[in-house]
């Protein structure tokens, strides 16, 4: 096993959240008919920049809270379109 330092765990959790956020934003855009590859890449790069900024300022917990709230907000918006999509199957 490789030893993992606490800062690596925090950076990994922020990275997982930013990728998950970009994926959920992409799903939301696809269901709304507004999906664009360039927008998805830009969102991923923007999230990476914010996470790096928070890491430099030693505010990783703020990044985790911000990305977590954004994910929850997008999931709330996706709830109705996803339920309609699965009803049609």
Q: What's the pLDDT tens digit per position in 70-81?
A: 899 989 988 888
Are the beta carbons of 60 and 14 closer than 8 angstroms? yes
Length of the chain in residues, anyone? 89
Q: Which of 5, 24, 35 is nearest to 78 (CA)?
A: 24
| pLDDT number for residue 72 | 92
28-63 tens-digit pLDDT: 888 888 888 898 888 888 888 888 888 788 888 888
Cα angle for residues 28, 40, 22 (degrees, 5° grid) = 65
| pLDDT number for residue 73 | 92
Look up the pTM and report it: 0.75
Please determine, for residue 2, whether its predicted confidence score (pLDDT) is greater than 80.
Answer: no
The set of long-range contacts for 40-43, using a CB threshold of 8 Å and a minimum separation of 24, is none
Please determine, for residue 1, whether its predicted confidence score (pLDDT) is greater than 80.
Answer: no
Cβ density class 50-72: b for 16+ within 10 Å, e for less: bbeebbeeeebeebbebbeebbe
């Amino acid at each position: 096993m490789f030893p993992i330092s606490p800062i690596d765990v925090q950076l990994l959790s922020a990275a997982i959240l930013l990728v998950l956020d970009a994926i959920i934003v992409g799903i939301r855009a696809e269901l709304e008919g507004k999906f664009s590859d360039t927008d998805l890449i830009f969102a991923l790069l923007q999230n990476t920049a914010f996470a790096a900024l928070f890491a430099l300022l030693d505010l990783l917990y703020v990044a985790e809270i911000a990305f977590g709230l954004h994910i929850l907000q997008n999931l709330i918006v996706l709830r109705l379109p996803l339920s309609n999509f699965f009803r049609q199957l």
